[in-house]
Amino acid sequence: MRLNKYIASSGLCSRRKADELIEQGVVLVNGKKITELGFNVGEKDKVFVNKKLVQPVKLQYYRFYKPAGYITSADDEKGRKTIYDLLPENLHHLRPVGRLDKASTGLLILTNDGELINELTHPSVKVPKTYLVTVNSKMHIHEFEKMAKGIEIEPGKTAFANVTVLEADNNHTTMEIVLFQGMNRQIRKMIEYFGYEVKSLKRIQHATITLDGLKRGEFKPIKPQQIKELKNFLNRIK
């Protein structure tokens, strides 16, 4: 197995990051520093990264329906509730792919596959994420057009969104919003730009993985066929 794939299969990082670690000279195989990117290792070889032994692990993939009131973190200095308070200890080693803020709900992919996490979150790969959003007023078509063309939500940061209106009256607008970026609180900041307030925000799909069949606070393994479809999808959009 290629050394970078071996390191990535430990869940430590992506293959790209593994290549960087190899080039930095912090990877040892059987006590010998390796800087050759195409180096191969076998089952009996001992691989150390920054003096820590790494070994391939069984890759796990779960869907989780995050409820409101929990932060997407392993721990919190302020003592707030985290998603790991809802997960059994045998899943605490899994990392979320991206984040949902405390007030938001919906789909989180949890995995120990560092390479997949990198592919789903790297800015160079435009992975669609779909949200069901309700705001406290009727929005107008020119505002949706502006969201598609881009809004500067922070100095030097322009956010884009594709919007499909599902329901609207004078007191609310419910819409499906698709993002291809991963900016912090992006939807909320875009809505606030127009002077509105987000009443509810739920992620319903991330790439090919959906929230279908999950109740709030529930988690389920992602089927191998779904992972295969997800990785095929990522290969197509790279």
Verify whether residue 212 is a known catalytic residue. Answer: no
Measure the CA–CA gap between 140 and 11, rounded to whole angstroms.
Answer: 45
**CA distances from residue 211 to 82, 98, 202, 222, 226 in whole angstroms, order as listed:** 20, 15, 10, 11, 13
Measure the CA–CA gap between 99 and 80, rounded to whole angstroms.
Answer: 15
Measure the CA–CA gap between 211 and 223, rounded to whole angstroms.
Answer: 13
Tokens found for residue 52: 């820590």
Classify each residue of 48-65 as buried b or exposed e, where b means 16 or more C-beta atoms within 10 Å of its C-beta.
Answer: ebeeeebeeeeebbbbbb
The alpha carbon dihedral of 115, 121, 124, 125 has a sign of positive
User: For residue 37, which amino acid is it?
Assistant: L
User: For residue 153, which amino acid is it?
Assistant: I
Measure the CA–CA gap between 220 and 170, rounded to whole angstroms.
Answer: 39
Q: Out of 45, 76, 85, 101, which one is annotated catalytic?
A: 101
Catalytically annotated residues = 101
